[in-house]
Structure 1
Amino acid sequence: MFSRPGLMMSGLVALLTASACPASDPPAASIQKPAVVSGESGYAAMVSRGYTPLFNGTDLTGWRNPYPYGEAKVVDGEIHLLADKKFFLVTEKKYSDFRVSVEIHLPEGPANSGVMFRAHVDEDAAKKVYGYQAECDGSDRRWSGGLYDEARRGWIWPSTKGRSKDQFLAHAEESQQFFATPRVRDALNRNGWNRYEITCVDDVIRIEVNGVETVRFRDATDASGYIGIQHHGEKGQTYRFRNLFIKELPEIPAQQHVALTEQQPLSIKRISETVTQIDFGTVAFGNIAMPVPSGRGTANVHFGEKLKDGRIDQTPPGTVRYGMTPIRLGQQLGTWVVPAPVDPRNVQQSGLIYANPPAVLTPPQWQPVMPFRWVEIEGVGPDYPFDLVRRRAAYSATWNDDASAFECSNETLNRIWDLCKYSIKATTFAGVYVDGDRERIPYEADAYLNQLSHYTTDDDVKMAARTFDWLMENGTWPSEWAPHMVFMAHAEWMHNGDTEWLKQRYESLKAKTLIHRSGEDGLVRSDEADQNRHDIVDWPKQERDGFVFTEINTVVNAFHIKAMEQMAEMANAIGNEADADAFESRIKLARASFQDKLFDQDAGIYRDGIETDHSSVHANFFPLAFGLVPDEKRDGVLSWLKQKKMQCSVYAAQYFMDALFSADASQKALDLILADGDRSWKHMADSGTTITWEAWEMKYKPNQDWNHAWGAAPANLLPRHVLGAQPRTPGWTTATIRPCPADIESARGKVPTPRGPIKIDWTNGEAFNLSLSLPDGMSAVVELPAPDGSTGVFADGTAVAATKRGDRWHVDGEVTGSVRFEVK
């Protein structure tokens, strides 16, 4: 009936308490507290995120009043409740697992309302409606978002003597302290609209008020029931409700967006009298279909990602996958679909770990899938038609192998490209970006890196927006993962130029900037819980280059400032000039403090944080990648970084490489990508793996999986930097073409965009030659390498105006169509 709240809530209490204490209000409250989007945009935003209206905006179809009193009417697309006694308007339909969203506007004066969920109706009782309620508290107590058990057990979270059962009083002090923290206490907009979002999955209940999580609790009393809205009974008061939506769970994105492809064996080998091994050539997520073997009894099908001594490794390290499924032998004609074994974590919807979101499920009609390259069929005779066995591999239904291409004079880079491109394809199996096969959940940082590489390898990338919406409802716990949501939204807007999509989601992003943890100097603070758990810097922990965690953390603040810069840009794009100005003011303050407090003037590099003299590579390449290093400090930071090796994980390497390429240190970036040893993509490619790993090697992360798209960064680094194509304006109306050849002699390829592919072909010698073909509707700003002694730029044989800045020629103006450039 009840699980201890400490398992679900204590970490949240610590986080929100600490978040609020050191911070002061930003210059404009609007950039800290999301506003509720009203009107058609608010309605369209919910529908676009997969919600179903509970209220049609014109009448009360689907709702009923079980009381003999109380009035409910529709006024201008809102439900208005009037009464002089408490009553609830409830849905006619019951719901089990769901995410429900309701907007509430309390009347002035004494007022109290709420949203009932999984509620019950007893027509014969005096208190006809009872069950769970998300509290909307208009009093000075400010317990809005609390979990109340109407007409039954009273207050659950928070709890209080005289209003709660004894079982809940054990956490009375903790829960009341939690609701006293400013972020939770002030979540309700007392005189405006408030969005309540309640998620129920199995026995886990989660309540959010205006984007602030107020409850995450386990209680198994009710598994289904009605949705309801409340009038508290104050005579003459009108309670208003609008935008009532529900999304029934679980969502299964792959149902509409992923297809199974039947694949033939690459090779078949008889291992022994009883075992035949089939190799499909690459790892893919799937299962197999095979003709029904004749005979009696059972046979076994072994699935594996890894070989050992020529056989499938049945005890692989970490979360490298192996599984076995028994099959029945028989005389019937037809085909068995042999499901892969089920890993419980891959289907878990309400785990025991705090803040672990639901696993992304695959369609039940597929039967279970897992990543594997080899199968071994044990117990079937040699005359069986093994060549008819098929792997049913799951990929995005719209994946286009021909959408992108990369080829250069360095064969190892070509192999790395092939590995990384296929890694992106193979990990589309769930319909949203997941972290591999250990948990099958999206994580914000993983998803952003996956998104960047999906854009550069495929020409239908709606999966990025789907994953963004999924993560906004199922976020994870690390500090820097929240700003990655801003990065994801900005990247999607830059790629597609869809300002309406951005407008519908802009307000919800404010909670992701970490501004609620910032102080008067504009910098984010990290309390003990943040320093010990939430602040990531890099993952796994031993990849942090000795990073020293302090109250003001250089990496966390670099993410914070970059997120605010992108928010300011997006605020301008949707016409919210007030927010843009407020963000710019905050950015200016934070940037000045960042340089003053975190830069080591004597060493010429950034420290990990205040009160430490230690400088990790992370404290320097993140600011460089985010454009936070002033011009006068850039050479020193870059010179220091160029002396370093790959002293970070495959995740952080995305940003390390971005920093180097952007700072015209492309040779250093390529040297690291191609380095000997076990900390490079060369090592991954040489290992024989067909999907990138979660870490450089097992010894760096013993529980790693071998099917992790965040390890596929070269899938975007090579097109964006070596070929040199990036969006300059939203929707690729203008591109930047900026090749970074280093010592590569030639490169060519195709970069997909929503307007069509960009085709690039360059050679690098005494002169630099570039053939560029842009799709219709796109122009480009071109920056070309300046070989030693070069004097100018020619376009289609004619000299053109260009300005030399450092090691590059910047061609004046913009180009369109197909152009051949020569620097000589």
Structure 2
Amino acid sequence: MNKYLSLLIFIAAFQGVNAQYQTENLDLENNYIQPESIVKVGENHYFIDFGKAYFGNVEISSTQSQNDSLVFHLGEKLDGEFHIDRNPGATIRYRKSKLNQLLANEPVSPKMSPYKRNTTGAAIILADSIGAIIPFRYCEIENLKIPIESIQIKQKALHYKFNDDASAFSSSNAIMDSIWELCKHTIKATSFTGYYVDGDRERIPYEADAYINQLSHYSVDNEYTMARRTNDYFINHPTWPTEWLLHTVLMFHADYMYTGDIEPLKKHYDNLKLKTLMDLERADGLISSKSPNLTKDLILKLGFKKANTQIKDIIDWPPAQKDTGWKVALVEGERDGYEIVPVNTAVNAFYYYNLKLMTEIATVLNKTEDAAFYKKKAELVKTTINTKLFDAEKGYYIDGEGSSHSALHANMLPLAFDLVPEEHVASVAAFVKSRGMACSVYGAQYLLEGLYKSNEAEYANSLISDTVGDRNWWNMIKVGSTMTMEAWDVRHKPNADWNHAWGTAPLNAITRYMWGIKPKTAGFKVAEINPKLGKLTHTSIKVPTKHGFILADFKKETDKTDRYTITIPEDMSAEFILPKTLKKAYLNGKKVKRKALHLALETGTHHIKIAY
């Protein structure tokens, strides 16, 4: 078999057969962006840099007419100074188009040929009025025979409504600041369909992509409609990886925590129960995609259109070279050599977290018996994982039942999902740190969460701001992308794109775990603020909520004194979690009781001093 045939079959399984979703009547808008620079590179030939890539086209207007044709080149990548790469490789975008003439005082955009793969089948289809668009930063114009001063050219950027002023971040780490801005721009720019889609290659929603996109979107804007629309999409359009299905409950729970609205939980409760994959459970509580209970009837109930759809554990993406035929930098893909056995730790860590969240969901919906049922199941799964899948001699988890191998993923996921008993957190975290960034940009979401939760903030911060090699976010900026990429580098995924929002883990990790700002109660009625700032000497953040914006500022005055200024908007309060190592704390000038675990912050501005 041709080595690429298996790859095509493997990828085709992702696309499925879905009804086309269109962007008509969604809150999409065009933003017209002026060039940052225009350079004449030859006779009648100009190079234009708009500063950042957006999805869209250019719009050109002129005070003079040109009856001769103009040639336009749009692209994301350069292959030399002032020259767009005409053959950028992977799924990095480039398009050439022609404008037959330019009429005075009539704004016009050149027409581009669409890519078949992202404008047919399961792709989210753009309205006809939008036309073909691509992500691009650069433009070249050839055969411009009228003076450049007579024309005005703009980047016509399409995106979902977005409040640029709803969020902000700065710190004493300039690299971290750059990564945060990269991620924020990605969230805005990739919203061009009104759904959380994977990237420009397919423009299809996938659960794992969407969940990271959702958390990052919530961290920079208080607009929740796009997340809810995407969540609804997955009810009847699931995708086949086991872990992707197990993100569905996470997305609906996040929607509830940020909005406080229980209606989606009510409406889709029965489907969420199915999406936990509880039907695949065996007597000891663990699940397997190889279970005989995964019948054709269950496949259809889960929302798949074909009863013969194969659900398969994915662990991380891209998978091993043997699965794809790609010649990649790591032949095991992004799995850290994970041994995928039928009953594995990664899938069951997700399953435990699903049960934990379903306990909360059932409680909110006053389904008391269900809540007790899920709580009991969660306890059983946690006990079984820690009994059967934990290597007591080594002090960390194995990949699954019957395996003697331990990969990063088998340990970072238990850390992220609060599965690790307190007495083993240190040894599991130490193993996780020993593996470095042995996961994909997707897996990095859970790596960062697990590290911050296990009090490894300084190491997590170092991963976010790492500049060595290519397995970091800085490499995305270094190679020229202005959005997070699908993979660390194209050598790790030969068809990777430069516009994948699942690469924005640092944004939501900084907001939700480094600064520790997230809803404690549904609808952000009460916020939790639990800073784990590592060695940063100063940092400020603005976090959107449905009630307004939380403002937080930190300064390390001395080695033993920290100062925080926190502003809480109206109609909400917050709990500021105090570090366990403090000696004294002061709230608005008043000394706090020594045994206090947190500070209650009401609406308004508060000054907190902590001495060590």
Counterpart secondary structure, 2:182: helix
Contact 1:605–1:620 (Cα < 8 Å) also in 2: yes
Please state how far the C-alpha of 1:414 moved relative to its aligned partner.
1.0
For residues 724 and 556 of structure 1, the distance between their equivalents in structure 2, rounded to whole angstroms, comes to 26
* 2:505 maps to amino acid: A
Please state how far the C-alpha of 1:643 moved relative to its aligned partner.
2.4
Q: Sequence identity, in percent?
A: 38
* 2:597 maps to amino acid: H
Structure with the higher strand share, 1 or 2 = 1
Q: Which residue of 2 aligns with 1:751?
A: 543
Q: Which residue of 2 aligns with 1:577?
A: 368
Contact 2:543–2:550 (Cα < 8 Å) also in 1: yes
Counterpart secondary structure, 1:345: coil
Please state how far the C-alpha of 1:646 moved relative to its aligned partner.
0.6
Matching of residue 621 in structure 1 with residue 412 in structure 2: yes
Please state how far the C-alpha of 1:674 moved relative to its aligned partner.
1.7
* 2:489 maps to amino acid: E
Higher-Rg structure is 1
Please state how far the C-alpha of 1:721 moved relative to its aligned partner.
2.4
Q: Which residue of 1 aligns with 2:464?
A: 673
Q: Which structure 2 residues correspond to residues 139-218 of structure 1 after superposition, within 5 A?
A: none
Counterpart secondary structure, 2:439: coil
Q: 1:328 to 1:614 in 2, by over 3 A?
A: same
Higher relative contact order (CA 8 A, sep 6+): 2
For residues 533 and 704 of structure 1, the distance between their equivalents in structure 2, rounded to whole angstroms, comes to 23
Counterpart secondary structure, 1:534: coil
Matching of residue 383 in structure 1 with residue 177 in structure 2: no
Q: Deviations over 1:651-709 (max 9, x none)?
A: 00011000001111101101111222211123323444211111111111111000111
Please state how far the C-alpha of 1:413 moved relative to its aligned partner.
1.0
* 1:392 maps to amino acid: K
Q: Which residue of 2 aligns with 1:777?
A: 571
For residues 400 and 814 of structure 1, the distance between their equivalents in structure 2, rounded to whole angstroms, comes to 26
* 1:321 maps to amino acid: R
Contact 1:774–1:817 (Cα < 8 Å) also in 2: yes
TM-score (structure 1 length as normaliser): 0.66
For residues 726 and 673 of structure 1, the distance between their equivalents in structure 2, rounded to whole angstroms, comes to 20
Please state how far the C-alpha of 1:627 moved relative to its aligned partner.
0.4
Residue among 481, 504, 507 paired with 2:267: 504
Please state how far the C-alpha of 1:384 moved relative to its aligned partner.
4.3
For residues 387 and 723 of structure 1, the distance between their equivalents in structure 2, rounded to whole angstroms, comes to 47
Please state how far the C-alpha of 1:819 moved relative to its aligned partner.
1.5
Q: Which residue of 2 aligns with 1:538?
A: 316
**Tell me, which stretches of 5 or more residues in structure 2 are unaligned?**
1-5, 295-309, 320-332
Q: Which residue of 2 aligns with 1:742?
A: 534
Residue among 39, 47, 52 paired with 1:269: 39
Q: Which residue of 2 aligns with 1:169?
A: none
Matching of residue 437 in structure 1 with residue 200 in structure 2: yes
Please state how far the C-alpha of 1:763 moved relative to its aligned partner.
1.3
Q: 1:205 to 1:276 in 2, by over 3 A?
A: closer
* 2:85 maps to amino acid: D
Q: Deviations over 1:135-169 (max 9, x none)?
A: xxxxxxxxxxxxxxxxxxxxxxxxxxxxxxxxxxx
Q: Which structure 2 residues correspond to residues 20-31 of structure 1 after superposition, within 5 A?
A: none
Q: Which residue of 1 aligns with 2:325?
A: none
Matching of residue 342 in structure 1 with residue 106 in structure 2: no
Contact 1:254–1:429 (Cα < 8 Å) also in 2: no
Q: Which residue of 1 aligns with 2:609?
A: 822
Counterpart secondary structure, 2:242: coil
For residues 644 and 332 of structure 1, the distance between their equivalents in structure 2, rounded to whole angstroms, comes to 61
For residues 695 and 205 of structure 1, the distance between their equivalents in structure 2, rounded to whole angstroms, comes to 26
For residues 513 and 599 of structure 2, the distance between their equivalents in structure 1, rounded to whole angstroms, comes to 21
Q: Which residue of 2 aligns with 1:645?
A: 436
Q: Deviations over 1:302-356 (max 9, x none)?
A: 110000012100101200001111221255652222233300011112xxxxxxx
* 1:698 maps to amino acid: V
For residues 168 and 600 of structure 2, the distance between their equivalents in structure 1, rounded to whole angstroms, comes to 28
Q: Which residue of 2 aligns with 1:558?
A: 349
Q: Which residue of 2 aligns with 1:595?
A: 386
Please state how far the C-alpha of 1:812 moved relative to its aligned partner.
5.5
Contact 1:801–1:811 (Cα < 8 Å) also in 2: no
Contact 1:802–1:811 (Cα < 8 Å) also in 2: no
Contact 2:252–2:264 (Cα < 8 Å) also in 1: no
Q: 1:330 to 1:710 in 2, by over 3 A?
A: closer
Q: Deviations over 1:159-184 (max 9, x none)?
A: xxxxxxxxxxxxxxxxxxxxxxxxxx
Q: Deviations over 1:240-284 (max 9, x none)?
A: xxxxxxxxx643236321111122221111121142111111000
Q: Which residue of 2 aligns with 1:300?
A: 71
Q: Which residue of 2 aligns with 1:466?
A: 229
Q: Which residue of 1 aligns with 2:22?
A: 252
Contact 1:286–1:340 (Cα < 8 Å) also in 2: no
Q: 1:610 to 1:331 in 2, by over 3 A?
A: closer
Q: Which residue of 2 aligns with 1:567?
A: 358
For residues 537 and 478 of structure 2, the distance between their equivalents in structure 1, rounded to whole angstroms, comes to 22
* 2:124 maps to amino acid: V
Q: Which structure 2 residues correspond to residues 329-408 of structure 1 after superposition, within 5 A?
A: 329=101, 334-349=106-121, 358-381=122-145, 383-385=147-149, 387-397=151-161, 399-408=162-171
Contact 1:262–1:390 (Cα < 8 Å) also in 2: yes
Q: Which residue of 1 aligns with 2:3?
A: none
State how many pairs are aligned: 567
Q: Which residue of 1 aligns with 2:55?
A: 285
Matching of residue 418 in structure 1 with residue 181 in structure 2: yes
For residues 573 and 428 of structure 2, the distance between their equivalents in structure 1, rounded to whole angstroms, comes to 34
Q: 1:375 to 1:572 in 2, by over 3 A?
A: same
Please state how far the C-alpha of 1:537 moved relative to its aligned partner.
0.8
* 2:533 maps to amino acid: P
Q: 1:815 to 1:330 in 2, by over 3 A?
A: closer
Q: Which residue of 1 aligns with 2:306?
A: none
Contact 1:723–1:747 (Cα < 8 Å) also in 2: no
Q: Which residue of 1 aligns with 2:585?
A: 793
Contact 2:77–2:480 (Cα < 8 Å) also in 1: no
Deviates more, 1:636-645 or 1:556-565: 636-645
Q: Which residue of 2 aligns with 1:712?
A: 504
Q: Which residue of 1 aligns with 2:304?
A: none
Q: Which residue of 2 aligns with 1:656?
A: 447
Contact 1:264–1:387 (Cα < 8 Å) also in 2: no
Q: Which residue of 2 aligns with 1:98?
A: none
For residues 387 and 599 of structure 1, the distance between their equivalents in structure 2, rounded to whole angstroms, comes to 67
Counterpart secondary structure, 2:370: helix
**Tell me, which stretches of 5 or more residues in structure 1 are unaligned?**
1-6, 15-200, 207-248, 350-357, 804-808
Contact 2:570–2:604 (Cα < 8 Å) also in 1: yes
Contact 2:190–2:501 (Cα < 8 Å) also in 1: yes
Please state how far the C-alpha of 1:528 moved relative to its aligned partner.
9.8
Q: 1:330 to 1:781 in 2, by over 3 A?
A: closer
Please state how far the C-alpha of 1:501 moved relative to its aligned partner.
2.8
Q: Deviations over 1:101-128 (max 9, x none)?
A: xxxxxxxxxxxxxxxxxxxxxxxxxxxx
Matching of residue 313 in structure 1 with residue 85 in structure 2: yes
* 1:334 maps to amino acid: E
Contact 2:36–2:51 (Cα < 8 Å) also in 1: yes
Contact 2:242–2:314 (Cα < 8 Å) also in 1: yes
* 1:324 maps to amino acid: K
Please state how far the C-alpha of 1:784 moved relative to its aligned partner.
3.0
Q: Deviations over 1:529-568 (max 9, x none)?
A: 99x9711111111110000011101000111110111111
Q: 1:785 to 1:341 in 2, by over 3 A?
A: farther
Residue among 280, 286, 307 paired with 1:523: 286
For residues 796 and 330 of structure 1, the distance between their equivalents in structure 2, rounded to whole angstroms, comes to 65
Contact 2:455–2:532 (Cα < 8 Å) also in 1: yes
Q: Which structure 2 residues correspond to residues 63-212 of structure 1 after superposition, within 5 A?
A: none
Q: Which residue of 1 aligns with 2:491?
A: 699
Counterpart secondary structure, 1:704: coil
